[in-house]
């Protein structure tokens, strides 16, 4: 990536919040998550992406072979929501669970887990069949925080996942779900 990438993601989010305020950063992150792959990152959303991504060259987000690099604005927006959150971003983060880019899906599932975002369980269950193991793992961890008993079978199916990290995450999620709902799964 073209840019200096100085500072951690948390430091870059802090910088953005100092510059625009927490509420504005959350609003811009939600708007970034609503961008579609064909959309260009412009205006306020481009300014935010530059800060969150630690970029110096604006053209980098518009470059690259299809799908290009613009999806990184959505990845960084989702990641930023791990550090600054408002419930007003809930719908955007839940919708981002079906983004075509796996990094956006993975990061969105992590945000759902961090903030126990309601109404996300069914979308998370759909991610349990994702082609990318990191997405499946993030989804199963998120389900541990938001799932109900009817989701246990979907989690249990991952106990035999080909990727050991996903299978371990499923076992941990079932244990968490059992403790959270006070019944064995």
Q: How confident is the model at residue 62 (pLDDT cuts 50, 70, 90)?
A: confident
pTM of the model: 0.93
What is the residue-averaged pLDDT of the chain? 94
In a domain, 171, yes or no: no
For 73-128, give the DSSP string. Answer: HHHHHHHHTTTS--GGGHHHHHHGGG-SSHHHHHHHHHHHHHHT-TT-HHHHHHHT
For 12-66, give the DSSP string. Answer: HHHHHHHHH-HHHHHHHHHHHHT--TT----HHHHHHHHHHHT-S-GGGGG-SST
Tokens 């690099």 sit at which residue?
69
Q: What is the pLDDT of residues 93-132, one digit of tens each?
A: 999 999 999 999 999 999 999 999 989 999 999 999 999 9
Query: What pLDDT does 6 receive?
Result: 72
Expressed as residue numbers, the domain containing 31 is 1-90
In a domain, 45, yes or no: yes
Q: For the beta carbon of residue 116, count every other beta carbon within 10 angstroms.
A: 10
In a domain, 5, yes or no: yes
In a domain, 22, yes or no: yes
Query: What pLDDT does 2 receive?
Result: 43
Tokens for 45, please give them.
Answer: 């959303």
Query: What pLDDT does 108 receive?
Result: 98
Query: What pLDDT does 5 receive?
Result: 58
- Report the distance separating Cα 47 and Cα 58, nearest Å: 9
Q: What is the pLDDT of residues 12-53, one digit of tens each?
A: 999 999 999 999 999 999 999 999 888 889 999 999 999 999
In a domain, 33, yes or no: yes
Number of domains in the chain: 1
């Amino acid at each position: 990536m073209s840019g200096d990438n100085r500072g951690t993601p948390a430091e870059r989010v802090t910088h953005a919040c100092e510059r625009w305020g927490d509420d504005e950063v959350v609003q811009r992150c939600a708007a970034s998550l609503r961008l579609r792959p064909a959309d260009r990152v412009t205006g306020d959303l481009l300014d935010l992406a530059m800060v969150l991504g630690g970029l110096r060259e604006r053209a980098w987000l518009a470059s690259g072979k299809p799908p290009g690099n613009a999806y990184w604005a959505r990845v960084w927006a989702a990641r930023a929501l791990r550090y600054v959150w408002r419930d007003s971003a809930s719908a955007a983060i839940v919708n981002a669970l079906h983004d075509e880019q796996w990094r956006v899906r993975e990061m969105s599932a992590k945000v759902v887990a961090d903030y126990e975002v309601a109404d996300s369980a069914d979308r998370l269950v759909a991610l349990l069949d994702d082609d990318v193991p990191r997405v499946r793992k993030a989804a199963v961890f998120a389900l541990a925080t938001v799932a109900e008993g009817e989701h246990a079978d979907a989690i249990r199916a991952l106990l035999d996942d080909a990727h050991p990290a996903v299978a371990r995450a499923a076992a941990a999620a079932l244990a968490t779900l059992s403790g959270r709902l006070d019944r064995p799964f």
